[in-house]
Structure 1
């Protein structure tokens, strides 16, 4: 069972960082193949792993650089393709959600968490001198964050048993099943050639990151959102409400039409829209969105291109943690 793609639309363009990560992994693998004769030269392979692999006793001794280098090494073409497939399917939406720079740091952070988890386990079982390589620990973090941020996304999955078929599986079912399999494999074959504990460690780190981002990412602060312009045939509220990709981001976003704005922000944990207040300040050209219930949010969204004061906040909607503020521009 392996994923082909998901139905989760991106908002902020192409995932260039995710593409770059895939390209770097592929290029480094080609270098590995050339340097080791596709791992047939035992001496050069050993030297490569000793120098760039994440060796547990060195990792716990503070050798962080080896963790980062090990994240871009793979032991074979199947290892590479499997990891890059998962990164391709799930990583683009995480980059879209977090932003490119944060995604880079989170990806590396998940890889470090995975390596530390594996190293502690390996040291306790007598495997402290065996190097670990592969991007799967960091990619497990991607999966953990994806589960929290996009639980209802559908994953188009190829299933091979006595037949081959493609099915759509919700992320909230697909990813936990994957995680349970990692736990089972770690118990059945703990000393095998796959670092399942690294997968578990990276996944838990991704879960924590996703939870923190989802629950605290939009609280308190002034945000200058990216403004998007819908197509001419989507210039009214009804059409925009049907655009599924508008409900899957953390930072506030503005849709600009010919005579309206719509602000979309993620504010999970509210009871209903009665807890939400929105005010427009013409002096700062910003809309303040805040809550009056027990769950506190307070953000200011700048609409710096408004040249007049004739605007009205005429509708507030709240559904599944997403608040939508519709603002009309009054024509004289």
Structure 2
């Protein structure tokens, strides 16, 4: 199974960091091809990998730590490069969209470093600590782990090679766990074939944990803000903004969004950018943005959201920068994810 693209939309512009990572990998591979005469000069290959590949026994002894970064941009063949870059292209852009450019870059490098250490520990214990490891697959495995947490309902358009070639749409919740199980299986039966499966496994687990922690602490932040906002509104005489249809009563709205009764899976996530604030709500029953009404009340710094068909209501306290205005500029729904963008002016 080979992924070619997903159906998760981006709202925050082009994923320049992801494109840059792909470009750097390609440029470095071209450099490898040139100085090793297309990998035919064995002495040059050994020298290159010894200097810039991550050698487990050296890393664990605190030596040649720079190779933690250089090794994740090197590849041993065109197939190795293309396979990794396709996965990065398909899954990385949405994570950059979610985290932002700088945070995504830092997380990508972090996942790659942690994957290298996971492989190094395993390699040293199995007597392969002197063999250099190269490739971006450890970091990309972290990308897959994080993608599974943030976009479990995304559909992955996948080419199937069997007795025939066809394209199918597979949910990320099925595709990525299947991929991970395959890595575990190959690692357990010892079919390495020169592939650092423990780097894949380690990177995936770290990426999974990073994304889970990100969502967990985002939810905690929302619950605290929600509680403070509700206490404020109980003392306030200001009425909530009205919608064009099914206007919301403030007291009813507060009751319906009490976080003690709110499902944890639908606690909104707030993403703050330089000129925008995105609100992410998971609601599998919502299929169209025409079902969503959203108004921002500047007097209470609260975004009021109504899902018309299910009558679900959210009042979401928004961190409001001083001397700025917020307005709802875009509402989109895809794969059960509601995304509401507020422009900061």
Q: TM-score, normalised by structure 1?
A: 0.73
Tell me how far apart the structure 2 counterparts of residues 66 and 156 of structure 1 sit (CA, whole Å): 34
- The 1:250–1:305 alpha-carbon spacing in structure 2 relative to 1, beyond 3 Å, is closer
CA distance in 1, matches of 2:199, 2:68: 12
For the 8 Å contact 1:254–1:264, the answer to whether it is kept is no
Deviation at 1:36, TM superposition (A): 0.3
Q: Give aligned pairs, total.
A: 273
Matched, 1:89 2:90: yes
Counterparts of 1:41-80 in structure 2 under 5 Å?
Answer: 41-62=41-62, 63-80=64-81
1:300 is the counterpart of 2:301: no
Change (3 A) 1:74 1:253: closer
- Say whether the 8 Å CA contact 1:217–1:251 is kept in structure 2: no
- Please tell me whether the aligned partners of residues 142 and 206 of structure 2 are also in contact (alpha carbons under 8 angstroms): yes
Matches within 5 A, 1:1-332: 1-62=1-62, 63-217=64-218, 219-220=220-221, 250-251=270-271, 265-266=279-280, 280=297, 282=299, 287-288=301-302, 299-302=318-321, 304-306=323-325
Contact conserved, 1:56 with 1:118, CA < 8 A, in 2? yes
Q: Quick one: structure 1 residues 2 and 279, their matched pair in 2 at CA, closer, same or farther if it must change by over 3 Å?
A: closer
Contact 2:6–2:154 under 8 Å retained in 1? yes
> How far off its partner does 1:38 sit?
1.1
Gaps of 5+ in 2: 226-242, 246-266, 284-294, 305-315, 328-335
TM-score (norm 2): 0.70
- What is the CA distance between 1:217 and its match in structure 2? 3.0
What CA distance in whole angstroms lies between the structure 2 residues aligned with 1:266 and 1:133? 37
Quote how far apart the aligned CAs of 1:218 are. Answer: 5.9
- Cα 1:56/1:306, change in 2 over 3 Å: closer
Distance 1:95 1:47, change over 3 A: same
**Cα deviations by residue, 1:98-136 (Å, 9 ceiling, x for unpaired):** 000001110000001100100000010000100000000
**Distance in 2, Cα, partners of 1:97 & 1:254:** 14
Counterpart contact for 1:264–1:322, Cα < 8 Å: no
Q: 1:154 to 1:21 in 2, by over 3 A?
A: same
Alpha carbon RMSD of aligned pairs, Å?
A: 3.6
- TM-aligned CA deviation for residue 250 of structure 1: 4.5
Are the counterparts in 2 of residues 215 and 268 from structure 1 also a CA contact under 8 Å? no
Compared CA separation, residues 178 and 237, structure 1 to 2 (3 A):
farther
Structure 1 contact 97–249 (Cα < 8 Å) conserved: no
Distance 2:135 2:341 in 1: 44
